[in-house]
Amino acid sequence: MKAVTYQGLKKVKVKNVEDPTIKKEDDILIRVGVTSICGSDLHLYHGLIPSTDKDTIIGHEAIGYVEEIGPNVERVKKGDKVIIPYTVACGHCYYCENQLESQCNESNEEGEIGAAYGCSRLLGDYDGSQAELLRVPYANFSPFVIPEDCELEDEVLLLLTDALPVANWAIEHSGVKPGDTVIVLGSGPVGLLTQKLAWLKGAERVIAVDPVDYRLAHAKKTNKVETFNFEKDKYLPDTLKEITKGGADVVIDCVGMSGKIKGVEVIETVLRLQGAAMGAVTTAIETVKKGGVIQLIGIYGTRYNAFPLGDIFMRNVTLKTGLAPVVHQLPTLYKMLKDEKLNPKDIISHKLPLDQAEYAYDIFNKRDDNCLKIILKP
């Protein structure tokens, strides 16, 4: 089969690789119909996850048709069209049974964290979804069967694998409530969806911060948010604190470690003293009000040098973090899409064949061609 493979720093290649096979009795194989590139795929692309091996199949978002099932699979059948959440989760450990399936205790033999498709040995060493076929473990738990009468486009349904539940979890986990002022750092796909959901949750004011003008223009046009370019206002934290009269109730960081990295952070990252950029965290701390909440939903990796813990503690700020669980959110979010309470289609900017993955990664990384969300079709 064809698959997108990691080849080193800022290098991917579509290669012919061996087809996956059923390994365990509750596995299934799906033929991927649509997949996509996620912002967190750029962490691998930038070499920020050191446990990524050459020729790793990357990607963690997929919708497809069940082609083969293991002997103990009862939840799905051949021919079903399924949504595959980005996390790999068993369904029966303590965490899966308590709606924290992103921290499944059984799916990652490498360490005490959860697992995900196409995210290196660090997250379980599972082949990724940017391929023609995908092996799906624990098929009696994670796949969401798309009803036969569903009229939603596959590209929209694909957002249920990762971006939409991640954004929704950011809103729910941070405790956004009616009347709140919410600052969203980042206006990529997850940031744009977070802005939409903040309004639906009853926020009184939503402010978007990003360094890319076309993304801010999109946010302003489609989400009716206030927008600020942090590269054009070196005093932006002061500006935001002034206009919010002391800071936002909730600041949600949708950027993570792929934010703008300083020179000293580059050196520290190479020396493994730092987990890449920390600018978004600093901005969040500087723009949240006393007693407010910071939610980190952008991906962070290893330990950070000179983390500003005192600034959080002394101002009674609550810091919430973590990998978003997806499986238990799918029925609610699917219903939201079906009932047209939310229309996320505007974030999809490109639809390309899998063969053009190298080009797709290049424009996504460089933010060329007004790129937001790229759909890949095997």
Give the pLDDT confidence of 38-49 residue by residue, as tens digits.
Answer: 988 988 888 777
Give the pLDDT confidence of 185-202 residue by residue, as tens digits.
Answer: 999 999 999 999 999 999
Report phi then psi at 293, rounded to 5.
-125, 135
Mean pLDDT of 131-145: 98
pLDDT band, residue 109 (cuts 50/70/90): confident
Q: What is the pTM of this model?
A: 0.93
Rounded Cα–Cα distance for residues 31 and 79 (Å): 10
Give the pLDDT confidence of 248-301 residue by residue, as tens digits.
Answer: 999 999 988 665 555 444 445 544 445 556 778 889 999 999 999 999 998 876
Give the pLDDT confidence of 330-360 residue by residue, as tens digits.
Answer: 999 999 999 999 999 999 999 999 999 999 9
- Strands (DSSP E) contained in 175-301 are 181-185, 205-210, 226-229, 248-253, 288-296
Q: What domains lie within the chain, and their CATH numbers?
A: 2-162+326-377 (3.90.180.10), 163-320 (3.40.50.720)
pLDDT band, residue 303 (cuts 50/70/90): low
> Quick check: 301 and 268 in contact, CB under 8 A?
no
Of 16, 31, 6, nearest in space to 358 by CA: 6
Mean pLDDT of 52-70: 95
pLDDT at 233 over 90: no
pLDDT at 7 over 50: yes
Annotate 194-220 with b (16+ C-beta within 10 A) or e (fewer): bbbbbbebebebbbbbbbbeebbebbe
